């Protein structure tokens, strides 16, 4: 078999790479992120959105309860409506009266 330069052994280790044997693209030919969203940005952004959604779902009940504890925010109540049907009325002193937040 003759050596026509098609085998790896035919290349000379000169330190310089010729344009035809180089497998890397020049820096000008590489696509920049101006063409669209990069894969890395998409993965990081998608992971952040998924994490934020998970935290929001898990904290939903706590946020609902905290909203009604904000000063100035009151639950809509109808006069005479009972919070608990099994409750019995016991008269109390006016000095002890306050709005209760019952479950």
pLDDT at residue number 3: 63
The structural domains of the chain, with segments of one domain joined by +, span: 36-73
How far is Cα 76 from Cα 99, in angstroms, rounded to an integer?
12
Q: Is 103 or 83 the better-scoring residue by pLDDT? A: 83
What pTM was computed for the model?
0.35
For the stretch 22-70, pLDDT in tens is 566 655 555 555 678 899 999 999 999 999 999 999 998 888 888 888 8
pLDDT at residue number 103: 63
Q: How large is the greatest C-alpha to C-alpha distance in the chain, in angstroms? A: 112
Q: Is 42 or 19 the better-scoring residue by pLDDT? A: 42
């Amino acid at each position: 078999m003759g050596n026509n330069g098609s085998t790896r052994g035919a290349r000379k280790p000169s330190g310089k790479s010729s344009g035809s044997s180089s497998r890397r693209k020049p820096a000008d030919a590489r696509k920049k992120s101006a063409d669209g969203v990069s894969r890395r940005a998409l993965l990081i952004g998608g992971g952040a959105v998924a994490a934020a959604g998970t935290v929001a779902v898990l904290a939903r009940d706590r946020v609902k309860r905290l909203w009604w504890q904000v000063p100035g925010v009151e639950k809509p109540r109808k006069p005479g409506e009972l919070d608990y049907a099994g409750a019995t009325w016991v008269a109390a002193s006016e000095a002890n009266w306050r709005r209760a937040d019952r479950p």
